[in-house]
């Protein structure tokens, strides 16, 4: 048995592990792979997890909120779900209480050392004191991030060479067989992290607000994917934080449809309390399971399941 220590480029975490005869490691990297199971026979166990990237060139369009709530509701529906924070702002991580002070590996550690992912078990997304009565909580896992992710992403071209754009895919590949769906929350813009997430994904969901700039951002991403990543399946545009009765929502839907972009038949209503959910370390779907927002996201989750099973 030999001891291997990987030191991250940003000196935040060391992944101290012991290599066994089967090539697996234990220590700070958890080798348990059967601690949670899917409740559905139609889970994609043979093909591995279906990876959905939530992206929009525009910021502030509910990508993180949508990722968090869909993760909860897909787990509630019996699926094994992994949510991944690909944004150095780490808003998804903070939404589940994953602050910098908590121990454990982060996405930046795995990007620096993708070989460690083979024996890494992502932790339960909800903190130990949150939702203890929820029967599905073990099925929702997270790969959190910190602001150090920005430095690692900037260094990846030099660290990994020409193949750096596929580094996130390398990290996720050994995890695919243990999940039914993987959701990637991305930063705005077209940086390294957004690009890696798009290349790692099977499908694209574009959250957008019912505003001109957000619709334009969705359209630019839609066009970019069709021209540069034709194999990526565009699942559609999700209009969020709006009301169907608002004229601006109807106009936005019509503009998107006129540009031959698919708009999901469900829009997520605006609710002030959604913005305050992170202070309680859980998304709205956990805090208010019967709210209109949760009901809308539950419909989106069912639409997503129908799409990935096609």
Domain ranges of the chain: 44-308
pLDDT band at residue 60 using 50, 70 and 90 as cut-offs: confident
Q: 44-308 domain in CATH 3.40.50.300?
A: yes
Q: Cα dist. 212→208, 237, 260, 272 in Å? A: 10, 14, 16, 21
The Cα 45–Cα 223 span in angstroms is: 32
Distance CA 106, CA 84 (A): 10
**What counts of helices (H) and strands (E) characterise the chain?**
11, 9
The better pLDDT of the pair 286, 11 is held by: 286
Say yes or no to pLDDT of 81 above 80: yes
Full-prediction pTM beyond 0.85? no
Average pLDDT, integer, range 168-176: 97
pLDDT value at 38 more than 70 = no
Tens digits of residue pLDDT in 103-129:
999 999 999 999 999 999 999 999 999
Confidence of residue 59 (pLDDT cuts 50, 70, 90): confident
Tens of pLDDT, residues 12-31? 444 443 333 344 544 344 43
| Percent of the chain residues topping a pLDDT of 90 | 55
Residue 216 pLDDT more than 70?
no
């Amino acid at each position: 048995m030999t001891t291997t220590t990987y030191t991250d480029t940003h000196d935040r975490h060391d992944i101290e592990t012991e290599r066994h005869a089967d090539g697996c490691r234990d220590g700070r990297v958890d080798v348990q792979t059967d601690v949670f199971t899917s409740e559905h026979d139609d889970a994609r166990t043979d093909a591995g997890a279906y990876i959905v990237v939530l992206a929009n060139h525009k910021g502030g369009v509910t990508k993180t909120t949508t990722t968090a709530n869909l993760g909860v509701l897909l787990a509630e529906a019996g699926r094994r779900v992994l949510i991944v924070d690909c944004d150095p702002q780490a808003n998804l991580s903070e939404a589940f209480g994953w602050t910098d002070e908590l121990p454990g590996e982060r996405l930046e550690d795995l990007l620096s050392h993708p070989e460690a992912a083979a024996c890494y078990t992502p932790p339960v997304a909800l903190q130990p004191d949150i939702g203890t009565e929820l029967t599905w909580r073990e099925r929702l896992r997270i790969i959190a991030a910190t602001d150090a992710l920005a430095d690692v992403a900037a260094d990846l071209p030099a660290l990994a060479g020409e193949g750096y754009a596929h580094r996130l895919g390398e990290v996720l590949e050994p995890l695919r067989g243990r999940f039914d769906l993987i959701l990637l929350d991305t930063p705005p813009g077209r940086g390294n992290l957004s690009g890696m997430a798009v290349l790692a994904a099977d499908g694209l969901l574009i959250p957008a607000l019912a505003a001109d700039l957000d619709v334009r951002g969705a359209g630019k991403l839609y066009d970019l994917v069709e021209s540069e990543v034709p194999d990526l399946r565009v699942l559609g545009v999700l209009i969020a934080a709006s009301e169907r009765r608002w004229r601006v929502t109807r106009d936005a839907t019509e503009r998107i449809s006129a540009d031959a972009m698919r708009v999901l038949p469900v829009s997520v209503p605006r609710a002030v309390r959604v913005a305050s959910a992170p202070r309680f370390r859980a998304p709205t779907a956990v805090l208010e399971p019967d709210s209109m927002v949760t009901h809308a996201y539950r419909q989106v989750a069912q639409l997503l399941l129908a799409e990935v099973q096609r």
